[in-house]
Amino acid sequence: MLKILTNPADIKGATGEIRAGGTDLHDRYRMGVSSGAIIDIHKLDFGSIIENADGSMTIGANVTIDDVGQHPKIQSGYGTLSKAANGLATPQIRWAASFGGSLLQKTRCSYFRHPDLPCTKKGNAECGGRDGQHSNGVVFDKGGCTHSHSSTLATALLAYNATIRTTQREMPIADLYGDGSAHDRDHLLNENEILTHVILPAAIAGEKTAYFRSISRFEAEWPIVECSVRLVVEDDMITDAGVGVGGVSQIPLRLSNVEAALIGQPATQATIEKAAAVSAENANPLPQSAWKVDMMIGTILQTLEMALNG
């Protein structure tokens, strides 16, 4: 059954999975991993990008990933977000997929994506990945799910400490994902709660930004590790920093220890090398994912270098 919403209030009492662009949902339905009624939200009025009087930006959840990547104000003021949006998936996916769906997509773990394999996120008691194949698993193991979160744009939004708005509340982007202890969830929205907008704080003039992904092939693939960086440099000193990293944890991570190692330090190669190394301080990889610790440090360093020297 398909219900097409034209008013967000009509979600009350509706049953089924929300569909925006459908690029993740239909893949799962086709594979027999998900099934049942669909609540389509693409007609809801969350499809614009607005610059507010205080300089902040409000981005509707139904704008496409391409809209985000190509928007001139996002390109000029929020470089790592626009670079991440333009660097993920394929042009076809970026034209079809929504900004909201990119933050709320379900895991790409191959146990989850196979209809016959066990996975806590499909309601089974067992996590197939933990005792099985997890060579592309997390670097920061919290027990339970061993697969990293799939959202590239969440990583970039963490670097800006963005706020999200839903039909029920407003909260920092980090609270959308929690601390990673909810192993059966990809995000913490309630059933029938619709993500409506993302709010970015006012842009900082002259901010240096970069996005980099370590990937096994050039495009059309989720990265192994990815990083979003924003740096504010004044008089050769780093005065503010935002560092988000993906591919290493069950949730998209903001690395406050790396940020602390950057802020107040001279904007030099030595500073960013030290800061990148700090990222591994609390690493506790899985038996098969230990190789990703070096890849994480290298990916963060590469992104910091691109931001500083770009």
Interaction between residue 150 and ligand FAD (CB under 6 A): yes
Interaction between residue 93 and ligand FAD (CB under 6 A): yes
Near ligand FAD in 166-185, by CB under 6 A: none
Q: Which of 99, 28, 106 is nearest to 69 (CA)?
A: 99
Size of interface with ligand FAD, in residues (CB under 6 A): 33
Give min distance, CB of 98 to ligand FAD, in A.
Answer: 3
* Single-letter code of the amino acid located at 144: G
Of ligand SF4, ligand FAD, none, which one does residue 203 interact with (CB within 5 to 8 Å by kind)?
Answer: none
Interaction between residue 197 and ligand FAD (CB under 6 A): no
Residue 68 pairs in a beta bridge with none
| Structure token pair of residue 137 | 């698993």
* Single-letter code of the amino acid located at 112: F
Contact (CB, 8 A) for 236 and 271: no
Give min distance, CB of 161 to ligand FAD, in A.
Answer: 19
Residue 61 or residue 308: which is nearer to ligand FAD going by CB? 61
Footprint on this chain of ligand SF4 (rule: CB under 6 A): 107, 109, 111-112, 119-121, 127-130, 145-147
Binding ligand FAD (rule: CB under 6 A), the pick from 19, 83, 121, 254 is: 19
Rounded CA-CA distance 110/188 in Å is: 22
Residue 79 or residue 129: which is nearer to ligand SF4 going by CB? 129
Q: Which of 222, 211, 245 is nearest to 78 (CA)?
A: 211
Tracing tokens 């104000």 back to the chain, one arrives at 73
Of ligand FAD, ligand SF4, none, which one does residue 195 interact with (CB within 5 to 8 Å by kind)?
Answer: ligand FAD
Binding ligand FAD (rule: CB under 6 A), the pick from 107, 120, 148, 151 is: 151
Longest dimension (CA), the chain: 60
Of ligand FAD, ligand SF4, none, which one does residue 25 interact with (CB within 5 to 8 Å by kind)?
Answer: ligand FAD
Contact (CB, 8 A) for 61 and 100: yes
Rounded CA-CA distance 251/247 in Å is: 9
| Structure token pair of residue 277 | 């190394």
Q: How far is CA 268 from the centre of its chain?
A: 28
Q: What are phi and psi of 67, to 5 degrees?
A: -55, -40
Give min distance, CB of 160 to ligand FAD, in A.
Answer: 16
Residue 146 or residue 303: which is nearer to ligand SF4 going by CB? 146
| Burial (CB count <10 Å: 0-12, 13-18, 19+), residue 219 | exposed
Of ligand FAD, ligand SF4, none, which one does residue 253 interact with (CB within 5 to 8 Å by kind)?
Answer: none
Residue 112 or residue 140: which is nearer to ligand SF4 going by CB? 112
Residue 90 or residue 181: which is nearer to ligand SF4 going by CB? 181
Of ligand FAD, ligand SF4, none, which one does residue 149 interact with (CB within 5 to 8 Å by kind)?
Answer: none
